[in-house]
Chain A
């Protein structure tokens, strides 16, 4: 089973709202990722969690706040977003391997976010 699930599938929010995106996997993966994908572009990495600890933040604005409450769940909390933050937000997971070993990332279906 290589399934990563994400909720909600679609989200519309105003610039003053607070919302959260959720991601779940049951593959025993200990690395989880958030990506942002704009239309007609490849995904861009935002955050990496390894063993439930934030290991990488790709200079993402603080209006995006990730959280990893346990090894299966990953959240992305959204607050005071801008219209340019409208995009497809993808979650991915992988084994957290040794530094020398690249591990395959498996993606979820994404949450399509529209900020008004």
Chain B
């Protein structure tokens, strides 16, 4: 079956620090990979995605590269801001009969202090 493992945190950083949140996955076939962000009291927002190996998704200074050889999709940002404080979910969506069902990691709480 499909599964996603991400560092659970919480992660606490100072403003302008470098961020990495690790995400690895297990899946058959050729999944699409996603990072969603959930700000306090809100729903999930799509942060970035990649649909095939070696694709790099990027948005708002965040980046993640789909690495099939290491089955990873680590999230990075060079300089975090207080406004980046949120929960980050790594997720995959597989092709085939279960292509409706997002498989989520457990989420990583990021707190950025000024």
Contact B104 A104, beta carbon cutoff 8 Å: no
Question: Once bound together, how far apart are the Cα atoms of A107 and B36, in whole Å?
Answer: 10
Contacts of A105 in B (CB 8 A): 46, 93, 102
Contacts of A110 in B (CB 8 A): 42-43
Contact B95 A99, beta carbon cutoff 8 Å: yes
12 more A-B residue pairs beyond the given contacts A2-B46, A43-B44, with a C-beta to C-beta distance below 8 A: A33-B100, A41-B106, A42-B89, A42-B104, A45-B101, A92-B44, A100-B99, A101-B95, A102-B31, A103-B93, A105-B46, A107-B44
Q: Is A48's CB within 8 Å of the partner chain B?
A: yes
Query: Min CB distance, A1 to chain B, in Å?
Result: 13
* Given known contacts A2-B46, A55-B100, A108-B43, A40 and B107 CB-to-CB distance under 8 angstroms: yes
Q: Hey, what's the 0/1 contact readout for B83-114 against A, CB within 8 Å counting as 1?
A: 00000010101111101111011110000000
Which residues on A are within 8 Å of B, measured CB to CB? Answer: 2, 6, 31, 33, 40-43, 45, 48, 50, 55-56, 88, 90, 92, 97, 99-110, 112
Contacts of B102 in A (CB 8 A): 43, 45, 105
Contacts of A6 in B (CB 8 A): 43
Contact B99 A107, beta carbon cutoff 8 Å: no
Query: Min CB distance, A23 to chain B, in Å?
Result: 11
Which residues on B are within 8 Å of A, measured CB to CB? Answer: 31-32, 34, 36, 41-46, 49, 51, 89, 91, 93-97, 99-102, 104-107
Contact B43 A90, beta carbon cutoff 8 Å: yes
Contact B99 A97, beta carbon cutoff 8 Å: yes
* Residue in B closest to A106 when the chains form the complex, CB atoms: B46
Contacts of A50 in B (CB 8 A): 100
Question: Once bound together, how far apart are the Cα atoms of A45 and B41, in whole Å?
Answer: 19
State which of B42, B94, B100, B106 has its C-beta within 8 Å of the C-beta of A109: B42
State which of B36, B89, B93, B107 has its C-beta within 8 Å of the C-beta of A102: B93
Question: Once bound together, how far apart are the Cα atoms of A91 and B96, in whole Å?
Answer: 23
Contacts of A97 in B (CB 8 A): 99
Contacts of B101 in A (CB 8 A): 45, 56
Question: Once bound together, how far apart are the Cα atoms of A107 and B49, in whole Å?
Answer: 14
